[in-house]
Amino acid sequence: MTQMEAISVAIVGASGYGGVQLVRLLLEHPLTTITYLGGEGSAGRPYSDLYPHLQHCLDLTVEAVDVDVIASKAQVVFLSLPNGLALELAQPLLAKGCKVLDLSADYRFRDLATYRQWYGTERQDDQLAAQAVYGLPELYRDKIALAQLVGCPGCYPTASLLALSPLLKQGLVLPETVIIDAKSGTSGGGRQGKINLLLAEADASLAAYGVARHRHTPEIEQICSDLAGQTVKVQFTPHLIPMPRGILATVYATLRDPGLVREDLITIFQAFYRHSPWVKILPPGIYPQTKWACGTNLCYIGIEVDERTGRVIIMSAIDNLMKGQAGQAVQCLNLMSGWSETLGLPQLAFYP
């Protein structure tokens, strides 16, 4: 058997929560070597200054972003940057032969009018955006395997879409009845200081935000529409919940056939995800907790039917920094590299 060679990887935005999660995963991955860390405010600083607990395993200094330097050091580049920055970097990196995985929203939309409307960013790269693949392996595994540029999904869309996909793809629910009520830990807001993420603001408190106008709504709707074969509008309400990490999305929709019971739906979901090692469908009466997914790339899905209302209720739990962000990006890298999609990714939660 031939020995597989490790590939060199760059992480741009290494100082952030996505960046440090990628560092954790890619350091422990058997077939990747981190050769470059990039940033802006942190440029010039040893990584161990930013994260002293990593000083024993990574001796790199964060560099100012320079496409030529990145391409000379890495075959694959993870862009873990605020929205609107990958637009400047993806094209030149691809031109120099790198594969690019973008963790921001820049390459998630095929319809750039929608991107411009919701993100307010001008861009001139329509052709490139059309070639990007939406990085949700459970739906687009084959396309991701061939992609040079992957736009990794947002954390709320990942939890929501994994809950909705079997229902919409198989026409089991009325698309106009879909409601998503989701809660996220505060790391979902990134490491850059924001007042609502302070302990004194977020702790022992719970509130919705972005009601009826959160930018993940059109992202969820784009994929739901593809699955349903018709335009789908969803009601999406996110909440900030006082815990560091984790997302629970509770999704409601009216069944077309009110005779379906939860055991039928569990069988349907199990069949839909039979080739998806990171999705776990729970038995009847078991509902997921975010703690089960914490630190892993798993998505746990619980299914219930309310026979009085004819609604299905799907509960989907992920770690926002793992299946919702860095873990999913590494899962995509595995596919793009022809490796098993579980390679190097944790399966066991920190628990408790």
Ligand X SMILES: CC(=O)N[C@@H](CCC(=O)OP(=O)(O)O)C(=O)O
81 contacts 98 by C-beta, under 8 angstroms: no
Can you tell me which of 26, 70, 81, 105 binds ligand X, judged by CB under 6 A? Answer: 105
**Binding residues for ligand X, how many (CB under 6 A)?**
11
User: Which of 220, 227, 98, 222 is CA-nearest to residue 161?
Assistant: 220
Catalytic choice (57, 98, 152, 155): 155
- Report the alpha-carbon distance of residue 344 to residue 297 in Å, rounded: 10
Can you tell me which of 154, 166, 175, 344 binds ligand X, judged by CB under 6 A? Answer: 154
The token duo for 14 is 């290494």
One-letter amino acid at 197 equals L
- State which H helix or E strand residue 118 sits in: helix 112-119
- Report the alpha-carbon distance of residue 139 to residue 155 in Å, rounded: 16
Q: Is 327 in the site for ligand X (CB under 6 A)?
A: no
Can you tell me which of 41, 259, 285, 352 binds ligand NDP, judged by CB under 6 A? Answer: 41
Q: Is 135 in the site for ligand NDP (CB under 6 A)?
A: no
Q: What share of the chain is helix, strand, coil (3-state, %, to 5)?
A: 35, 20, 45
- The terminus-to-terminus CA distance of the chain in angstroms comes to 40
- State which H helix or E strand residue 20 sits in: helix 17-28
84 or 277: CB nearest ligand NDP = 84
Q: Is 218 in the site for ligand X (CB under 6 A)?
A: no
The partner in contact with residue 238, picked from ligand NDP, ligand X, none with C-beta cut-offs of 5 to 8 angstroms by kind, is ligand X
Q: Is 188 in the site for ligand X (CB under 6 A)?
A: yes
DSSP 218-266: HHHHHHHHHHHTS----EEEEEE-SSSS-EEEEEEEEBSSTT--HHHHH
Q: Is 13 in the site for ligand NDP (CB under 6 A)?
A: yes
Q: Is 240 in the site for ligand NDP (CB under 6 A)?
A: no
The interface with ligand X within residues 1-60 (CB under 6 A) comprises: none
The partner in contact with residue 191, picked from ligand X, ligand NDP, none with C-beta cut-offs of 5 to 8 angstroms by kind, is ligand NDP
Q: Is 83 in the site for ligand X (CB under 6 A)?
A: yes
Characterize 114-147 residue by residue with b for buried, 16 or more Cβ atoms within 10 angstroms of its Cβ, and e for exposed: bbeebbeeeeebeebbeebbbbbbbbbeeebbeb
Q: Is 238 in the site for ligand X (CB under 6 A)?
A: yes
Per-residue string for binding with ligand NDP, 148-187, x by CB under 6 A? ------xx-------------------------------x
272 or 278: CB nearest ligand X = 278
- Report the alpha-carbon distance of residue 145 to residue 339 in Å, rounded: 10
Can you tell me which of 84, 189, 242, 277 binds ligand X, judged by CB under 6 A? Answer: 189
Q: Is 155 in the site for ligand X (CB under 6 A)?
A: yes
One-letter amino acid at 50 equals L
98 belongs to the catalytic site:
no
Can you tell me which of 141, 191, 239, 291 binds ligand NDP, judged by CB under 6 A? Answer: 191
Closest CB 228 distance from ligand X, rounded Å: 22
Task: Supply the residues annotated as catalytic.
Answer: 155
